[in-house]
């Protein structure tokens, strides 16, 4: 029982339940099916991004360029489709965006793996580079006349439930998020590559001595993040029915906060898919539902900051106490 109470996932789950009860008891609208579907829709893009960021943080790195990759892939794909294949299906859009994201991720991987540069410095540089190249070379105007496939995708629904006011629609993009989650979970839990990612975050030198090819793992990590970011960017644009080169960039901290809140250590070597999902849901609810209990928009970031500090501070204190106890026993 004590071990369960120390698990970060348990603490985040309890915080999530308390937050939902506080909001729901003050405003019953929170517990409606329509609001549930809205929250799920709001979680999709953050959730997809978070799966890529989770892998990076477990490996001991930090990537802040994923939003720039996402919007670059979105905007470039929309322009390509409008020019060459305006009637192509939505799956063509996702494939093109994923490939563009993969290519940009490989650039990050090249500098990190080959030149051993700090991941934060590299991705800060490529964040500016990708965003600048997009605005000044590809285009800086908002594209609202998107291909028909994106409009059809935005209007799609797999479940429709009549409400007192309108209809509650569950968007099929939720299943895209689920697929990404399952892939990352299987990768981290059941593959040697996943063990290598954890080992790299725990101690790079030890991972290399254990026989893991660190360079190949780093190439995989940042390429995969790029691919996932391209998918997330296209999902965002399809749901919004527009391609805005200024969108998404600036939301990196929300995604990183969700992953860290879910139990991933910024020092690497630890993190779970379940914890990250709980962190994403908590951040999205705090961003989207605090207004239901009268919290002004300007104060929502303060509340989110407090949640993050408490959610990450308590496990850190518990870890430190556990370390002191272990050290005391060893001395005895």
pTM of this structure = 0.92
Going by pLDDT thresholds of 50, 70 and 90, the confidence category of residue 330 is low
pLDDT at 325 > cutoff 60? no
What whole-number distance in Å separates Cα of residue 173 and Cα of residue 105? 23
Predicted pLDDT of residue 281: 93
pLDDT at 96 > cutoff 80? yes
184: enclosing H helix or E strand: helix 173-190
The answer to whether 24 touches 30, Cβ cutoff 8 Å, is yes
Q: Which residue has the higher pLDDT, 274 or 27?
A: 274
Predicted pLDDT of residue 5: 45
Instruction: For the beta carbon of residue 302, count every other beta carbon within 10 angstroms.
Output: 11
pLDDT digits (tens, 9 = 90+) for 223-243: 999 999 999 999 999 999 999
Tell me how many degrees the CA angle 318-323-328 measures, rounded to the nearest 5.
125
């Amino acid at each position: 029982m004590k071990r369960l109470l120390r698990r970060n996932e348990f603490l985040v789950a309890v915080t999530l339940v308390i937050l939902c009860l506080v909001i729901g008891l003050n405003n019953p609208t929170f517990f409606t099916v329509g609001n549930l579907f809205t929250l799920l829709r709001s979680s999709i893009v953050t959730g997809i991004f978070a799966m890529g960021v989770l892998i990076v943080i477990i490996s001991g790195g930090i990537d802040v360029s994923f939003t720039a990759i996402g919007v670059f892939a979105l905007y470039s794909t929309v322009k390509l489709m409008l020019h060459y294949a305006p009637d192509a299906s939505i799956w063509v859009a996702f494939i093109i965006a994923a490939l563009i994201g993969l290519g940009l991720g490989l650039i990050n991987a090249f500098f990190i793996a080959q030149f051993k540069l700090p991941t934060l410095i590299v991705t800060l540089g490529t964040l500016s580079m990708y965003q600048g190249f997009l605005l000044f070379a590809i285009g800086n105007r908002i594209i609202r006349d998107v291909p028909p496939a994106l409009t059809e995708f935005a209007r799609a629904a797999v479940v429709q439930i009549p409400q007192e006011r309108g209809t509650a629609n569950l968007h099929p993009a939720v299943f895209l998020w689920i697929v990404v989650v399952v892939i990352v979970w299987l990768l981290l839990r059941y593959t040697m590559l996943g063990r290598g990612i954890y080992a790299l975050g725990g101690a790079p030198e030890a991972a290399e001595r254990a026989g893991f090819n660190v360079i190949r793992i780093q190439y995989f990590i940042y390429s995969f993040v790029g691919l996932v970011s391209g998918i997330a960017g296209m999902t965002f644009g399809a749901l919004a029915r527009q391609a805005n080169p200024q969108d998404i960039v600036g939301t990196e901290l929300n995604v990183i906060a969700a992953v860290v809140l879910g139990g991933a250590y910024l020092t690497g070597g630890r993190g779970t898919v379940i914890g990250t999902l709980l962190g994403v849901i908590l951040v999205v609810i705090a961003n989207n539902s605090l207004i239901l209990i009268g919290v002004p928009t300007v104060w929502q970031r303060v509340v989110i900051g407090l949640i993050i500090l408490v959610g990450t501070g308590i496990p850190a204190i518990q870890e430190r106490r556990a370390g002191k106890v272990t050290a005391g026993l060893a001395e005895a």
